[in-house]
Amino acid sequence: MNNKGLFNFLALVVAIAIAIIGCHTLELPSKLSVFTPVTIKLSGWGGNLVEQKLLKQVLLDFEAQHSNIKVKYEAISDQYMDVIKTRLVGEAAPDVFYLESVEAPFLMSQNVLEPLEAYITPEFDLADFEDSLLDSFKYQNHIYGLPKDYSTLALFYNKKAFAAAGLSNPPATWDELRTYSKQLTGKLNRYGFGENPDLARQVYKIKAFGGQLVDQNSYATFASEASLQGLELVIDQYQKDRSSAQKSDVGTNSGSEMFGQSKVAMVIEGNWAIPYLTETFPQVEFATAQVPMINNKKGTMLLSVAYVMNKQAQHKAEAWELICYLTGKVGMQKWTGTGFALPTRKSVAKNLGYDQDPLRSPLVAGVNYATPWQVGQYPSAIINNFDNQFVSALLGQQSLKQAMLKAENEANQQIKTME
């Protein structure tokens, strides 16, 4: 074999090797390597100390397996998306960063994220992801993000409070929840139910009666009669039944906290509440159930976060290596194995047994019918105006219809200026 033939043969061997090892890059033996490790910058928001410690350990595991890559992690503690957007404009954004599903439509439409489908090999097993989670990060036939974890919403209820009120099972419908809430109010808890008026907790109620948040052009449509029918449930329970409370009514900072402090007997929260309650309020005996049906329809929210790549990243192959590991089967099992987050891969969820876990199984079951948390390309206009006006209606400062019409009109005026 002449030199040219030998060169072609070796090139073919290398190409085959690269194709069969999935997301792993080929590294030269350390003695022959002449490359300085590439640094990949990863940004996310700061979580609790346990979460931060776990992420750092997973990143150390990645570096141990990829001697050619170093990861510089930055936790952006305040105004996360504003910081990311500013850096993207200034071409100073991190190589890889967290992206919530609600913020994804806008960034995916701005040509600032790297499409990932060209990097994905059969060995990565894209089909292992839950479709509803992956779909939140697709736009115009491109995949822009791979979801790292998720949560749905479930009903959390105080077992001692239920026993004291003679209740043996969680409510299956919203009418039952309101009845239970009246019976529980003023007993072991000040209120039966803890209400979070934010839009992210109201979407499934709007959807239950056929309402929509936005139209195909991302304009607000939540003031329709169908939408108001779902929201009226919240208003009636708060104003007429007087069996529900907001966090501000009882001097707490979150739904989880007012439940943990036994200010309310029931609350609708996500998976994050489980480790929080277990660690912070170990004396509270609680259980979970699927969100009660509304209008004979099951409903909950699907809240997810993905890793995405900056289109201006200087080392895209290495950035993909990081994303591939963190969302791969091994990395995801390490990340979600402690239970503070739920895995987006079906195989990892099966290995961890969360579908059989007494506290997490209602959250896992919700994936099949949950509404993805997305409100078009201009989420801040939609969310801020809804939240402000809905709270005003909840407090009786204006009628629900008046509040929603005002919120819708103001949101749409702001969107017109953003287009």
Other beta carbons within 10 angstroms of residue 221's beta carbon come to: 18
Task: Give the residue among 136, 151, 155 at the shortest CA–CA distance from 294.
Answer: 155
pLDDT at position 48: 74
Output the CA torsion 226→227→232→233 (10° steps).
90
CATH 3.40.50.700 for the 153-302+374-418 domain, yes or no = no
- DSSP 8-class letter at 285: -
pLDDT digits (tens, 9 = 90+) for 186-205: 988 899 999 999 999 999 99
Query: How high is the mean pLDDT of the chain?
Result: 92
Q: What is the pLDDT of residues 361-400, one digit of tens each?
A: 999 999 999 999 999 999 999 999 999 999 999 999 999 9
In the predicted model, is pLDDT for residue 75 greater than 70?
yes
Task: Tell me where in the chain the CATH 3.40.190.10 domain(s) lie.
Answer: 14-150+303-371, 153-302+374-418
Residue 69: phi and psi, rounded to 5, are -135, 135
> Per-residue pLDDT tens for 269-303?
999 999 999 999 999 999 999 999 999 999 999 99
For domain 14-150+303-371, give the fold: D-Maltodextrin-Binding Protein; domain 2 (3.40.190)
pLDDT band at 340 (very low <50, low <70, confident <90, very high): confident
Say if CB 342 and CB 150 are below 8 A apart. yes
pLDDT category, 35, cuts 50, 70, 90?
low
Please name which of 72, 131, 135, 112 lies closest in space to residue 308, comparing C-alpha atoms.
112
Q: Give residue 34's pLDDT.
A: 58
Q: Can you tell me the mean pLDDT for 146-157?
A: 98
The stretch 247-255 carries a mean pLDDT of 96
What does DSSP assign to residue 214? B
Residue 4 pLDDT level (bands cut at 50, 70, 90): very low
CB within 8 Å of 23: residues ≥ 6 apart? 119, 121, 123, 124, 320, 321, 324, 325, 328
Residue percentage of the chain with pLDDT more than 90: 87
How far is Cα of residue 156 from the mean position of the Cα atoms in its chain? Answer: 18
What percentage of the chain reaches a pLDDT higher than 70?
A: 92
- From CA 29, how far away is CA 364, in angstroms rounded? 44
Q: What confidence score (pLDDT) does residue 8 get?
A: 45
Half-sphere exposure for 22 (CA within 13 Å, toward CB): 13
22 band by pLDDT with thresholds 50, 70 and 90: low
- pLDDT confidence of 10, banded at 50, 70, 90? very low
Other beta carbons within 10 angstroms of residue 9's beta carbon come to 11
* pLDDT at residue 15, as a whole number: 40
Tell me: the pLDDT tens digits for 213-242?
Answer: 999 999 999 999 999 999 999 999 999 999
Q: Fill in the DSSP letter of residue 339.
A: S
Nearest Cα neighbor of 376 from 102, 139, 107 is 102
pLDDT-based confidence at 41, cuts 50/70/90? very high
Using an 8 Å Cβ cutoff, are 67 and 30 in contact? yes
Q: Taking Cα atoms as reference points, which of 281, 265, 269 lies closest to residue 363?
A: 269
List the helix and strand counts (H, then E) for the chain. Answer: 17, 13
Give the confidence band of 24 by pLDDT, cuts at 50, 70, 90. Answer: low
Distance CA 39, CA 50 (A): 25
Q: Are 151 and 341 spatial neighbours (Cβ–Cβ below 8 Å)?
A: yes
The model carries a pTM of 0.90
